[in-house]
């Protein structure tokens, strides 16, 4: 799978940009604040319809403009032409000029995995980020998963709204509970089934990039112990006091450990960094196994943060792009690009909202 074409209009600091890419390794070089990360953000948006910076669409519109356009051509079995237009008043997503009615139908058209400094939040930040990591991977591998998530989140939100009322409409609460339990159980099951497949890959990735001898473990801890319906009933008094839904997959945890100790609490900075890279490597590897082709990798400025040992564990993943006709986009400043990758690199110079082939 690779991106053969990228078109931007009024996206971040790009007024107008049209680029064509071959498969292989692409390096975006340039000084700070020139638009390197913005390019990766646009490519990631094509894959997931979200920014990896966790911002809303309005922030990606070029200052002073009404809306942005991001277009791309993705080559996998055939070529698909994706167009995203967003403004305050209009949102438009088409694949081969056909409007996409449900976002959940869109997942899988283009798969990408991003490595960026925000990833550190996977270890350091709240559980919601780790749930999002699992959910994205499930959405990228199971058609229909995103639709489940959307149904679940509507039912939780509706329940929470009811629980905040002075007088609770018990019939309505009951019907949202029913929906929440049905859908929630399936979400828990899918997440739980993913873990035994993902963990060995993550553990092996961690072994490759960490020189330390400890083992990485992933553990899915659901807030539902046995029976969702029973436990939801048992939480009834507490949830009325707290005015919010207290059990369910929206409260689940993905626990990251090293030698059975919490990585967030006991891990060093370097170990935390290794864990997030291992998780992302595992995401890429799992997608490759599921679909028989690697996703496009987007790597934002992280090479400079890695010591030599971690770099050498990471590089085999990158080198594979050549044999698999896949693609990597990496941003770097002139000083820290990974020269050990050798010669087969397409270099682009990014300067003030323009990107040009460099020799």
| List of residues contacting ligand ADP (CB under 6 A) | 12-13, 30, 32-38, 59-63, 331
Give min distance, CB of 38 to Mg ion, in A: 8
**Selected range binding Mg ion among 13-21, 36-44, 127-135, 194-202, rule: CB under 5 A:** 36-44
Rank residues 158 and 333 by Cβ distance to ligand ADP and give the closer one.
333
308 binds, among ligand ADP, Mg ion, none (CB under 5 to 8 A by kind): none
230 binds, among Mg ion, ligand ADP, none (CB under 5 to 8 A by kind): none
**CA–CA separation, 219 and 187 (whole Å):** 16
**Selected range binding Mg ion among 29-37, 44-52, 219-227, 335-343, rule: CB under 5 A:** 29-37
Rank residues 224 and 306 by Cβ distance to ligand ADP and give the closer one.
306
Q: Hey, what are 256's tokens?
A: 């990251």
# residues contacting Mg ion (CB under 5 A): 2
Judged by CB under 5 A, does residue 38 bind Mg ion? no
**Among the listed residues 22, 17, 18, 16, the one whose alpha carbon sits nearest the alpha carbon of residue 4:** 22
Rank residues 170 and 334 by Cβ distance to Mg ion and give the closer one.
334
- Cβ atoms within 10 Å of 183's Cβ, excluding its own: 22
- Cβ atoms within 10 Å of 346's Cβ, excluding its own: 16
Judged by CB under 5 A, does residue 37 bind Mg ion? yes
Give min distance, CB of 352 to Mg ion, in A: 14
Rank residues 37 and 48 by Cβ distance to ligand ADP and give the closer one.
37
213 binds, among Mg ion, ligand ADP, none (CB under 5 to 8 A by kind): none
Give min distance, CB of 303 to ligand ADP, in A: 14
38 binds, among ligand ADP, Mg ion, none (CB under 5 to 8 A by kind): ligand ADP
Q: Hey, what are 149's tokens?
A: 């998530």
34 binds, among ligand ADP, Mg ion, none (CB under 5 to 8 A by kind): ligand ADP
Rank residues 23 and 35 by Cβ distance to ligand ADP and give the closer one.
35
**CA–CA separation, 302 and 4 (whole Å):** 24
210 binds, among ligand ADP, Mg ion, none (CB under 5 to 8 A by kind): none
Judged by CB under 5 A, does residue 73 bind Mg ion? no
Rg of the Cα trace of the chain? 22
Judged by CB under 5 A, does residue 104 bind Mg ion? no
- Cβ atoms within 10 Å of 97's Cβ, excluding its own: 7
234 binds, among Mg ion, ligand ADP, none (CB under 5 to 8 A by kind): none
Give min distance, CB of 28 to ligand ADP, in A: 8
Contacting positions for Mg ion (CB under 5 A): 36-37
């Amino acid at each position: 799978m690779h991106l053969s074409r990228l078109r931007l209009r009024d996206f971040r600091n790009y007024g107008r940009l049209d680029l064509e890419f071959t498969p292989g390794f692409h390096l975006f070089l340039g000084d700070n604040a020139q638009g390197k990360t913005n390019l990766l953000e646009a490519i990631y948006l094509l894959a997931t319809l979200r920014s990896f910076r966790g911002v809303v669409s309005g922030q990606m519109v070029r200052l002073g403009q009404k809306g942005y356009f991001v277009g791309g051509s993705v080559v996998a079995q055939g070529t698909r032409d994706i167009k995203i237009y967003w403004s305050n008043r209009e949102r438009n997503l088409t694949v081969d000029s056909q409007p996409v009615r449900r976002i959940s139908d869109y997942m899988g058209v283009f798969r990408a995995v991003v490595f960026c400094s925000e990833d550190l939040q996977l270890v350091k930040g709240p559980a919601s980020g780790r749930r999002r990591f699992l959910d994205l991977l499930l959405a990228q591998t199971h058609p229909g998963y995103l639709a489940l998530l959307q149904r679940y989140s509507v039912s939780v939100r509706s329940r929470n709204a009811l629980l905040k009322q002075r007088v609770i409409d018990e019939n309505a609460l009951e019907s949202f509970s029913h929906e929440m339990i049905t859908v929630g159980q399936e979400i828990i099951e899918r997440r739980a089934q993913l873990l035994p497949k993902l963990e060995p890959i993550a553990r092996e990735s961690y072994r490759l990039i960490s020189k330390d001898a400890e083992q990485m473990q992933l553990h899915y801890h659901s807030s539902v112990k046995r029976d969702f319906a029973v436990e939801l009933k048992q939480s009834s008094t507490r949830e009325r006091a707290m005015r919010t839904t207290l059990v369910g997959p929206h409260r689940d945890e993905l626990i990251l450990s090293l030698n059975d100790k919490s990585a967030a609490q006991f891990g060093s900075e370097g170990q935390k960094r290794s864990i997030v890279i291992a998780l992302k490597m595992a995401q890429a590897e799992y997608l490759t196994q599921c679909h028989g082709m690697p996703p496009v990798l987007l790597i934002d400025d992280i090479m400079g943060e890695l010591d030599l040992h971690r770099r050498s564990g990471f590089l085999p993943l990158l080198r594979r792009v050549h044999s698999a006709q896949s693609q990597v986009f990496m941003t770097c400043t002139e000083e820290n690009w990974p020269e050990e990758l050798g010669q087969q690199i397409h270099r682009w110079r990014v300067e003030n909202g323009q990107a040009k082939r460099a020799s």
